[in-house]
Amino acid sequence: MAAVSTSKIFKDDIFKDKVLLCTGGGSGICKGLTEAVVRHGAKAVIVSRNKDKLEKAAQEMRNSTGGDIFAVSGDVRKPQDMENAVKTTIEKFGRLDYLINGAAGNFLSPMQHLSYNAFRTVIEIDLLGTFNTTKAAMEYIKQTKGAILNISATLYYTGTPYQQHAGSAKAAIDALTKHWAVELGPHGVRVNGIAPGPIGGTEGMDKLGVGFEEETVPMGRIGDVKDIEQSTVFLLSEGASYINGVTLVVDGGHWMNPNYVAYPAMVHNPINFKGML
């Protein structure tokens, strides 16, 4: 069964007057998540380093949704950039209700070819970026009793080959989700995560899913961005008002299949992938 649009599942105005800040919102899955939240009434600010690409994405989403979407260029590794993104959000829209930490970096590499700098860079983008953005936004989200959503992955659940850098970062992000859920829960703020499975039509899948076989997914199909959109809308909505500290796996049961090979083409011919490092 194919994924369906959130507009066929949730009321159109469930996020009316709410404001979202999304890192990595200019492309891939997080662009879809931003668009879905805006379609349901929210205003949004998207953040990434490439200003031209970001502005183009914001315009595309304004055209497709008729919503109010503002682009702020910034590097999640730099706390001052994230403080500026939050400040701009407040100046533009007057409040901040939802934060999606989606900025990430990844590539395939066996350990012997993974440089010290490459490992550190992924940790900085994924883990430190999540911390920097949340710390900058936290006090404003407390005021609105909003919600935070960290985009994770299932890589470390089974020790995925050639993914120790990203897997380590996502494991730490899942830990932060739990810590923040406990710390911020008393302030009325919910903190959850989503761990997407193999999602078709994304840059990540194009780069990392070489040789992927749909038969390895118990549900019998590759995922769609709409699958992650549905989970996002639910977790940010009042329908999830008592869900806190959970990382929701949205992968059709893929990680639990003992017969799957994550990257079959690379496992069988690792030398062919050295140029990707």
The answer on pLDDT for 96 being more than 90 is yes
| DSSP type of residue 254 | G
Q: What is the CATH number of the domain that holds 229?
A: 3.40.50.720
Mean predicted confidence (pLDDT) in 79-102: 98
pLDDT score, position 160 = 87
Whether residue 2 is contained in a domain is answered as no
- How many CB atoms within 10 Å of residue 17? 12
Distance of CA 243 to the CA centre of its chain: 18
The answer on pLDDT for 239 being more than 50 is yes
Mean predicted confidence (pLDDT) in 208-222: 79
3-state SS, 173-202, equals HHHHHHHHHHHHHHHCCEEEEEEECCECCC
Average pLDDT, the chain: 90
Q: Of the residues 27, 48, 73, 152, which is catalytic?
A: 152
pLDDT score, position 5 = 72
The answer on pLDDT for 75 being more than 60 is yes
Mean predicted confidence (pLDDT) in 104-116: 93
Question: Could you report the per-residue pLDDT of 22-45, keeping only the tens digit for each?
Answer: 999 999 999 999 999 999 999 999
Whether residue 3 is contained in a domain is answered as no
Whether residue 55 is contained in a domain is answered as yes
The answer on pLDDT for 199 being more than 80 is yes
Question: Could you report the per-residue pLDDT of 224-235, keeping only the tens digit for each?
Answer: 999 999 999 999
3-state SS, 66-133, equals CCCEEEEECCCCCHHHHHHHHHHHHHHHCCCCEEEECCCCCCCCCHHHCCHHHHHHHHHHHHHHHHHH
Q: Say which residues have a Cβ less than 8 Å from residue 40's Cβ, sequence separation at least 6.
A: 6, 7, 10, 11, 12, 13, 14, 15, 233
Whether residue 76 is contained in a domain is answered as yes
Q: Which residue has the higher pLDDT, 6 or 92?
A: 92
Verify whether residue 170 is a known catalytic residue.
yes
Whether residue 209 is contained in a domain is answered as yes
Instruction: With cut-offs at 50, 70 and 90, classify the pLDDT of residue 161.
Output: confident
Whether residue 7 is contained in a domain is answered as no
Verify whether residue 241 is a known catalytic residue.
no
Q: Of the residues 18, 31, 170, 226, which is catalytic?
A: 170
Q: Which residue has the higher pLDDT, 202 or 223?
A: 223
Number of domains composing the chain: 1
The answer on pLDDT for 147 being more than 90 is yes
What is the spatial distance between Cα 206 and Cα 44, in angstroms, rounded to a whole number?
Answer: 27
pLDDT score, position 272 = 46
What is the spatial distance between Cα 147 and Cα 144, in angstroms, rounded to a whole number?
Answer: 9
Share of the chain above pLDDT 90, in %: 74
Question: Under a CB-based contact definition with an 8 Å cutoff, are residues 100 and 22 in contact?
Answer: yes
What is the spatial distance between Cα 137 and Cα 244, in angstroms, rounded to a whole number?
Answer: 18
Instruction: With cut-offs at 50, 70 and 90, classify the pLDDT of residue 3.
Output: confident
Could you list the residue range(s) of the whole structural domain that residue 256 is in?
12-276
Whether residue 5 is contained in a domain is answered as no
What is the spatial distance between Cα 88 and Cα 207, in angstroms, rounded to a whole number?
Answer: 33
Buried b / exposed e over 24-41, threshold 16 CB at 10 Å, is bbbbbbbbbbbbbbbbbe
Whether residue 211 is contained in a domain is answered as yes
